[in-house]
Chain A
């Protein structure tokens, strides 16, 4: 009997658009002449610079760190000279204090971390290595991994899931990594399971990547505790809450975290970075970036040093087809548009999607015909059109009671709307207003 392919309720079948790069090997990018390394690439406290202008730095040298626990250090990704420490534009939409390094054309390694080639160190050492290596969630959120691996007292973790869904259209970096570095991903998973004392690990992969499912099954076969789970190709299968629901059938409580249901989810790229740190002593200084879309000449999957500018990668891929269009950091469903190419790749930059003006043009919104497509796709079971209407009419009290804060901003509602209404746009606005109102309420009570 063929087992039913696992998935979560609701969700949308969306365009996959991965054909341009899915079959392309990951290639090394030519070394950039300059990198810009923001001192905050993660969720949490920003780092303080550890070097000064004019210093000579080597690959893997720690150049920024913070005493705060929820933070991750940053490292030099090329060897050369620090030419500036100043605020620079980033893909997060604001300027961040950044270290600018000019390459000296050498490949000098700092070798600050000790690698464990033969035997895994104990759990505590693994976690401290991961922290020292500056590893964060590489699927996009960039939450420091060592924090995830340090659950608060009373929270028992019993499952680790590697997220190999890559449900965003266009992106293929995780797919390629699972084909080309499957054993490294398994090694990273085993290390994380050991750090957490967890016996059971899963790798969830959407069915549109059969080759990756096979390759990960091969790589994991010696280990009885690791199971590869094929998942239905459906958006947003790779969203943490949906992935957990599909694989272990647990519901992350409203307002809660995966650790509330005993689960830690890590991205494939994160697992690979953990392996690089533990077995080779290399901190997080590079990542895979899919550069793709209708507006790029030669799309591909690139291995990129952190801090390399978007512009360098575009040139590496043959340049743009036309001079206008949309630059998206991340995938087209949840990625952020950029207004310039002069921003650096960061730890959470999974892809750069370049769309032509025609493709990027937003359709003119029409009236809602109450088709309920948005209700049918919302993976959280919200009523997106209701939320959008409340937000549009500034009924923020209603918004909260309709659970607007549970929206994961996956964009399925706006995608599916036949009237092309910018539902998520309104919902985001509502969420921001509520956050601002809460902050104001806190301030007024604390000042009394």
Chain B
């Protein structure tokens, strides 16, 4: 029997006294699992160099996170999986032959500037992986747009040829790549962006787990397809090409940097889709998913503020 006379052996706290078993690291590791198809496809298509790039980015992202947390005298939380996601996502947006030292630099910037400078997990306004990528695109434009031409599975042929991405082909030469190549991934492009199939597989898994809101990928992809169709472009091509799929399922859906209201998520996704379309059709830089997401990330606090849901019974009770 409990001693009972004093408060010594009882725990007193305010309700609720029950919590779900879901944790932040649980969510993060599920996202990592969802990235496995894209990782495997990139290794299959581009070989071990792709694996090395992903490893380098991931390791340095985690190391940077730990180092900055030490410097800030904060609890080191590198096991929560969030830095790992940033590193891996950044790697997946890089060209296969991207110099490893620059990739590492991008990864360090992504975590140090994109995330920790704002206060760490949950406080960053921009998707950190995209901050890293934006840094690399601006600082090393040549390296970031030198694409390995896909010539067959690893080792089948010379793999140092350079080629253009399908969006570049379309933009500069008016050449369209066929859907099947775009879907499975045997095209030139970034590590994790080439195979729509692999991204969809992971994206559907996250939808099933409830870790991303369907409104965001649907509104991003839907608005790009619709707008492309309206100006006489091939909507399916636009959906499958470039970084759109990866962006729609894994970047725009980042919980920290997307709105928390349902209406807000529609507005967020539609705006991203609109900007992607604008950049692709009228811009000088066809691979515009990254800038589209970063720009709308910036508007998230505003979107949240103006889309707060109507509360139950929001009509004043009489007198």
Contact = CB atoms under 8 A, between A and B. Distances in A.
B303 to A, nearest CB: 12
Contacts of B13: 326, 337, 362
A417 B317 CA distance: 31
Q: In this complex, which of B16, B256, B314 has the most chain A Cβ atoms within 10 angstroms of its Cβ?
A: B16
A418 B2 contact: no
Nearest to B3: A323
A369 B10 CA distance: 32
A326 B77 CA distance: 30
A164 interface: no
Task: Tell me the dominant secondary structure on chain B's binding face.
Answer: loop
Contacts of A241: 312-313
A15 B315 contact: no
A363 B315 contact: no
Interface stretch (A123-131, A226-234, A378-386): A378-386
A386 B259 CA distance: 12
B16 A424 contact: yes
B164 to A, nearest CB: 38
Given A14-B18, A253-B315, A326-B17, A357 B255 contact: no
Task: Tell me the dominant secondary structure on chain A's binding face.
Answer: loop
Q: In this complex, which of A336, A371, A382, A409 has the most chain B Cβ atoms within 10 angstroms of its Cβ?
A: A371
Nearest to A320: B2
Interface string B173-217: 000000000000000000000000000000000000000010000
B284 interface: no
Contacts of A397: none
Interface in A348-384: 353, 355, 357, 360-363, 366-373, 375, 379-383
Size class of the A contact interface (CB-based, 8 Å): 35 or more
B4 interface: yes
B212 to A, nearest CB: 10
B312 A381 contact: yes
Contacts of B313: 241, 251-254, 256, 380, 406
Contacts of B9: 323-325
A375 B17 contact: no
A319 B315 contact: no
B16 A415 contact: yes
A15 B122 CA distance: 27
A312 B297 CA distance: 59
Interface stretch (A172-180, A338-346, A434-442): A338-346
Contacts of B318: 253, 256, 260
Contact of B17 (A255, A328, A339, A373): A328
Nearest to A309: B4
B15 A254 contact: no
Contacts of A411: 15-16
Nearest to B213: A372
Contact of B27 (A257, A319, A355, A418): A418
Given A319-B1, A370-B255, A375-B261, A332 B15 contact: yes
A217 interface: no
A260 B311 contact: no
Given A253-B313, A254-B316, A325-B10, A367 B15 contact: no
B315 A326 contact: no
A319 B120 CA distance: 47
Interface in B1-45: 1-7, 9-20, 22-24, 26-27
B75 to A, nearest CB: 9
Nearest to B17: A332
Interface string A217-258: 000000000000000000000000100010000011111110
B194 to A, nearest CB: 29
A418 B26 contact: yes
A110 interface: no
B121 interface: yes
A336 to B, nearest CB: 7
Interface string A161-173: 0000000010000
B19 A340 contact: no
A419 B24 contact: yes
Given A251-B313, A406-B311, A363 B19 contact: yes
A386 B308 CA distance: 10
Interface of B: 1-7, 9-20, 22-24, 26-27, 77, 80, 82, 120-123, 213, 255-261, 304, 308-318
Given A314-B1, A383-B304, 11 more contacts: A245-B312, A253-B318, A255-B316, A320-B1, A336-B15, A339-B12, A340-B7, A382-B311, A385-B260, A409-B15, A415-B16
8 contacts: A15-B20, A256-B313, A315-B1, A342-B5, A370-B258, A415-B20, A425-B14, A428-B14
Interface of A: 14-15, 169, 241, 245, 251-257, 260, 311, 314-315, 319-320, 323-328, 332-342, 353, 355, 357, 360-363, 366-373, 375, 379-383, 385-386, 402-403, 406, 409, 411-412, 414-420, 422, 424-425, 428
